[in-house]
Amino acid sequence: MIRWNVSILICLTLIGGGLIYGRNVNLNVPGSNQGFAPQQPLAFSHRVHSGDLAIDCLYCHFGAEKSPRAGIPAANTCMNCHKFVMASWEQTKIEELNAAEEKRDLQLVVSPEIKKLYDAVGYSTESLAYADTTGNNLEWLRVHDLPDFVFFDHSRHVIADVACQTCHGAVETMETVSQESDLSMGWCIECHRDVNSGDNPDFQGKYASLSCAVCHY
Ligand code: HEC
Ligand code: HEC
Ligand code: HEC
Ligand code: HEC
Ligand code: HEC
- Output the residue whose Cα is nearest ligand 3's atom 40: 164
| Cα(141) to centroid(ligand 5), Å | 25
pLDDT tens, the chain, 217 aa long: 334 344 444 445 545 554 554 443 444 455 678 999 999 999 999 999 999 999 999 999 999 999 999 999 999 999 999 999 999 999 999 999 999 999 999 999 999 999 999 999 999 998 999 987 666 678 999 999 999 999 999 999 999 999 999 999 999 999 999 999 999 999 999 999 999 999 999 999 999 999 999 999 7
Whole-model pTM: value is 0.92
Q: For residue 83, how far is its CA from the centre of ligand 2 (angstroms)?
A: 10
Q: Which of 44, 45, 48 to mutate to test the pocket of ligand 2 (most atoms within 8 A of CB)?
A: 48
Ligand 3 center–CA 98 separation, angstroms: 44
Phi, psi of 86 (to 5 degrees): -100, -15
What's the rounded Cα separation, in Å, for the pair 187 and 14?
18
Containing 124, the helix (H) or strand (E) segment is strand 123-124
**Spatial CA neighbour of 80 closest among 134, 124, 121:** 121
- Distance of CA 7 from the midpoint of ligand 5 (Å): 17
Distance CA 95, CA 112 (A): 15
Strand 129-130 and strand 123-124: the pairing is: antiparallel
Judge residue 50's burial from the number of C-beta atoms within 10 Å of its C-beta, 0-12 exposed, 13-18 middle, 19 or more buried. buried
Q: What angle do CA 61, 146, 7 make, to 5 degrees?
A: 150
